[in-house]
């Protein structure tokens, strides 16, 4: 006998329904407008019954190919391969941008004096579950972008400056942890999510649609 829908964990119900929405949209069973509307409802609702009803008329279910593609795009893995111990970013009266698909060093040291850096962890490959970002900002600032559901700990010491951490605080214990520490003087460090989980699902669905077309 199956468990009643109202008694199932809501996050599992939500994930199953979103997977069905993505699967059916990518195979042309749903218009983009319907997919976006239902995805919004699935992400925002706190009712198992409401969420489950969003996929009642959809006949396609996830297959092995979908599961493997989702693992590549959504799940963090720490391969424990050897990588650089320390990576330096030095910006004096200038700036730099570290982004794209890059392998994260165990420690990143960023020095910004009358300048700044942009460090984007959105598409990186983690070699360790814990990464330290040591900052020194003097009349400068750093922008740090992280994926949703990554643990972020801020320990920076500020003098006439500040750290703005707008990331979520409910990441999984299995997710990588980014520790930001250092000194900020007459400057600032902004830590924020570049792409929400909804935006990531939408991009994932579009990629699948192109693949299946």
Domain boundaries, the chain: 5-76+197-212, 86-193
CB 111 within 8 A of CB 89: yes
pTM, to two decimals: 0.67
Rounded mean pLDDT of the chain? 86
% of residues, the chain, pLDDT over 90: 43
Whether 107 contacts 132, CB under 8 Å: yes
Residues 184, 138: Cα–Cα separation, whole Å: 6
Confidence of residue 180 (pLDDT cuts 50, 70, 90): very high
Distance CA 76, CA 176 (A): 7
Both structure tokens of 129: 């579950």
The pLDDT value given to residue 85: 86
pLDDT band at residue 172 under the 50/70/90 scheme: low
Q: Work out the average pLDDT over 170-192.
A: 85
Instruction: Answer yes or no: is pLDDT of 171 > 70.
Output: no
C-alpha–C-alpha distance, residues 164 and 108, integer Å: 19
Nearest residue to 74 via CA among 5, 153, 175, 157: 175
Strands 95-98 and 157-159: unpaired
Asked if 23 contacts 201 with a C-beta cutoff of 8 angstroms, the reply is no
pLDDT of residue 38: 93
pLDDT of 77 > 70? The answer is no
Residue 74 has pLDDT above 80, yes or no: no
Are 189 and 137 in contact by the 8 Å Cβ rule? The answer is yes
Q: How does 58-93 read in b/e, with b if 16+ C-beta sit within 10 Å?
A: bebeeeeebeebbeeeeeeebeeeeeeeebebebee
The pLDDT of 177-187, averaged and rounded, is 93
Q: Rounded to an integer, what distance in angstroms lies between the CA atom of residue 14 and that of residue 16?
A: 6
Chain segment 17-43, per-residue pLDDT in tens: 999 999 899 888 899 899 999 999 998
Q: Which of 121, 155, 141 is nearest to 186 (CA)?
A: 141
Question: What's the whole-number mean pLDDT along residues 146-174?
Answer: 81
Q: Say if residue 66's pLDDT is above 90.
A: no
């Amino acid at each position: 006998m199956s468990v009643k829908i109202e008694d199932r964990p809501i996050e599992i119900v939500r994930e199953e329904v979103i997977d069905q929405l993505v699967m059916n949209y990518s195979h042309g069973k749903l218009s983009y407008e319907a997919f976006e509307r239902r995805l919004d409802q699935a992400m925002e609702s706190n009712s198992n019954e409401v969420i489950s009803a969003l996929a009642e008329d959809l006949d396609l279910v996830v297959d092995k190919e979908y599961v493997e593609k989702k693992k590549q795009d959504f799940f963090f893995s720490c391969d424990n391969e050897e990588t650089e111990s320390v990576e330096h970013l030095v910006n004096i009266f200038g700036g730099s941008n570290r982004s794209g698909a890059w392998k994260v060093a165990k420690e990143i040291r960023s020095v910004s004096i009358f300048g700044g850096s942009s460090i984007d962890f959105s598409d990186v490959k983690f070699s360790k579950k814990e990464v330290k970002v040591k900052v020194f900002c003097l009349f400068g600032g750093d922008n740090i972008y992280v994926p949703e559901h990554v643990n972020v700990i801020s320990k920076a010491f500020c003098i006439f400056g500040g750290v703005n951490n707008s990331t979520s605080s409910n990441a999984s214990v299995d997710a990588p942890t980014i520790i930001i520490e250092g000194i900020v003087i007459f400057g600032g460090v902004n830590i924020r999510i570049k792409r929400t989980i909804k935006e990531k699902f939408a991009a994932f669905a579009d990629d699948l649609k192109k693949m299946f077309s």
